[in-house]
Amino acid sequence: MSLTPVYIICSPRPLVGKTLLARLLSEFLLLKNGAVTSFDINLKEPSLLDFLPNTTETADVIDTFGKMQLMDRLIVDDGTAKVIDLGFHAFDEFFKMSAEIGFLKEAARRNVAPVVLFVADTDRVSARAFPMLQDQIPPKALIVIDNEHVVRGELPAAMAQGRVLRISALPTFLKTYVDRLNFSFTGYLRNERDSSTELHQWIRRNYTSFREVELSLLLQRS
């Protein structure tokens, strides 16, 4: 029996590339599985909803109704992968709620597999937040994202000990190109004939990394 994955992309810091990662992962899952449901929990624009309006819903964790509405969607074993772009403003509240309601245990009972993708940074806020996640999230379900555009050099030692997924930095002109609202990573792969371009290889490398994360979920199940 396969699991229904829920990918939670998070950081207590703004401007670390969460939405870029959520776009990449959502497009990969849509390409591979034919379906994905993404949740945009952000204050600032442009947000995930602007980039992927057909597969993204807005959500909030400000009040009890919003929290329960979101959690009801996340613990459904419907075979459709979920991606959460968790804004920095909602970081503490989301994981506090998750602990209070026993989200991880309930998810496991329902054949749902949460995976937390923590986008690393070298600041004190991130250094304090990461141990909290380690206390709450099993090591196999906690992946540190080493975004080279954010962490220029070595990861903090505490964050480098577990599972790490690295995303290489794009040159500024390519970053500007992919930040356009009408840009599609999968569309670029399909339409760009030259597979040797830097952007083509960057997208494929990240898609391959996501595939490895998916395979690790299958291995956990077996």
- Domain locations in the chain? 4-221
**Furthest CA-CA distance within the chain:** 50
Which string of DSSP letters, residue by residue, matches 78-122? SS--EEEEE-GGGHHHHHHHHHHHTHHHHHHHTTEEEEEEEE--S
Sheet strand arrangement including 163-167: 56-58, 37-41, 82-86, 4-10, 112-119, 142-147, 163-167
What class, spelled out in words, does domain 4-221 have in CATH?
alpha beta
DSSP secondary structure code for residue 140 in this structure: G
What share of the chain in percent tops pLDDT 70? 98
Give the pLDDT mean for 35-43: 94
Q: How confident is the model at residue 193 (pLDDT cuts 50, 70, 90)?
A: confident
Contact 47, 85 (CB under 8 A): yes
Mean model confidence pLDDT for the chain: 93
What's the pLDDT band for 208 if we cut at 50, 70, 90? very high
Element (H, E) at 58: strand 56-58
For residue range 150-192, what is the model confidence (pLDDT) as tens digits? 988 889 999 999 999 999 999 999 999 999 999 999 999 999 9
Has residue 60 got a pLDDT over 70? yes
Q: Is the pLDDT of residue 121 over 80?
A: yes
- Give CA 16 to chain center in angstroms: 12
